[in-house]
Structure 1
């Protein structure tokens, strides 16, 4: 196993494709101030922001739509105020339309979406205000990502299309795909002496495989019991200013420990960022930059077949919204 490098995987589609997680080629697409992602069920989500050139406070419009003839478009406005105070009721103004009474990060009603979308498709920007703050939402790229959304869901030329509607009936729209089923198994409890066991197993892992640069500092290390007399080691192997890369090993709980590096489905390279494990769930998040206005989230569950991917969501546009405005690339159905 090569030494882990601190690298943010900025395209979840590329990572997920290695595990067969991509719904289709080109299911993640970005242009100008907008991006869209369609997951393995054909659900599509899009987000747009203020332009890099504008002096606007951070603002985003999130859009989502399931596959299928009857699926409706969902929408939420997200704003960041300069004084760290919650924004009041929002009004979005596009051309002659002024749509008020909107709450930040609260889904718009179907009526509000129906009124808003025709105006957005025919404008260059939209103004958002709460009476104290103002934001300028760029619409550059909106039509392109919505066309991609329509194309992935088989809507182009149908009465359900957002950008290029036609006369084809809604029945021509592609149906949603079923998500894979993930069945987690119960985790055995920790035992007295597991910490000593951790130290003994770590000694059998070559320093060049993990943490050669961290040998003189305090490294994050943890061990967890898995079914069948196995142990999961989660070791910090590389560190940067605001996040760390972790390696995973599965070993026996008795000598010879024989630790084996673990590669995760949907993640290339064998390492994950900012790892945590609890109750059979392995979680990872990766920051695109220190303020975490872009990056990704991954979750796996331990099953009889090992770790299986449960969900992936990412935001590739770093536009000042804390936590990013993530778009879903992959989802599984958890059956307990």
Structure 2
């Protein structure tokens, strides 16, 4: 019977190998491929002053809850914050909360409808609508429901019954040589060698497409072809090719969490063997996706992925939710 229970627990967590996202009202959450989970909340959508709180927890029965608080004023990020939920007040916060502060604040947050945040000059209202639902979902995905470690629905099951974290994949980078001065001359030849594709002509003759060639190895290069340009970002197609005729370009498909693929990354940059992309949800960059891939012997492998799902005025989304992590 014990073996069966352990196997069932492992199956619960194994389902997280491809990341899970969820959200309720003013809160969003995600669990990554290791079963590390994060939830983040903001002010109500109609409120003007941006404020955000993140709660994060690793998998496993002994994992503590961590918290970070951020508020934005006209002068930038506010410091020395205080937060009040019900009768509980936590003062002197700049970024991360201390463990004892989290222990005092979290029970009060679960009972309140809003939390008041101030730096002594301005005041922000953090919405708590949806907090309890996201905490319950996080408990569920980590296998904590009805255990003594649960945040939303605790029970009598011991902490030892909570499944342990899954290991992050280990990636081995390939060394990448510096791009040669002569590589720029390959650009028109590679563009001509491309098979028919949707990005053949780039965003148009008047847009000044930002095509680029960078080196992957002593004999291979990576071609960036600007496909479409929006008001504040461009999408690209990417091709691997030989640096000598007939070049034989092959399209690059980038793996994403959930078993999907990205063949039109936004604003890609390749530096020291890591390909980075960031797609804005809107022009001010307060929401969007950031993803990294490592160049390996097996091609580009997913290194990290994060998403800021709610466009609530916080630069970069404040605390993007982690969807994937790997070791290198």
User: Do the structures match in fold with TM over 0.5?
Assistant: yes
What is the rounded CA distance, in whole Å, between the counterparts of 1:208 and 1:163 in structure 2?
A: 49
Answer whether contact 1:313 1:328 (CA < 8 A) is retained.
yes
Which residue of 320, 324, 327 maps to 1:326?
320
| More contact order relative to length (CA 8 Å, sep ≥ 6) | 1
Give 1:217 deviation, angstroms.
2.8
**Who is 2:241 aligned against?**
251
- Residue 181 of structure 1 aligns to a residue whose secondary structure is coil
Which residue of 71, 75, 87 maps to 2:67?
75
**Who is 2:86 aligned against?**
95
CA deviation string 1:224-258 (max 9, x = no partner): 22236111101211100100001100111111111
Name stretches of at least 5 consecutive residues in structure 1 with no aligned partner: 1-20
Which residue of 149, 169, 177 maps to 1:160?
149
**Who is 2:280 aligned against?**
287
- TM-score by length of structure 2 reads 0.90
Equivalent residue runs for 1:171-250 within 5 Å? 171-205=160-194, 206=196, 208-227=198-217, 229-250=219-240
Which residue of 143, 148, 153 maps to 2:132?
143
What is the rounded CA distance, in whole Å, between the counterparts of 2:92 and 2:96 in structure 1?
A: 12
**Who is 1:39 aligned against?**
32
Give 1:125 deviation, angstroms.
0.4
Seen in structure 2, the aligned counterparts of structure 1 residues 86 and 232 have a Cα distance that, compared at 3 Å, is closer
Answer whether contact 2:222 2:238 (CA < 8 A) is retained.
yes
**Who is 2:102 aligned against?**
113
- TM-score by length of structure 1 reads 0.88
What is the rounded CA distance, in whole Å, between the counterparts of 2:28 and 2:179 in structure 1?
A: 44
Name stretches of at least 5 consecutive residues in structure 2 with no aligned partner: 1-13
CA deviation string 1:262-299 (max 9, x = no partner): 11111535110011011111000000000111001000
Q: Does structure 1 residue 130 correspond to structure 2 residue 119?
A: yes
Answer whether contact 1:58 1:320 (CA < 8 A) is retained.
yes
Give 1:22 deviation, angstroms.
7.4
Give 1:135 deviation, angstroms.
0.2
**Who is 1:57 aligned against?**
49
Answer whether contact 2:19 2:32 (CA < 8 A) is retained.
no
Seen in structure 2, the aligned counterparts of structure 1 residues 304 and 85 have a Cα distance that, compared at 3 Å, is closer
- Residue 16 of structure 2 aligns to a residue whose secondary structure is coil
Displaced runs of 4+ in structure 1, greater than 4 A?
Answer: none
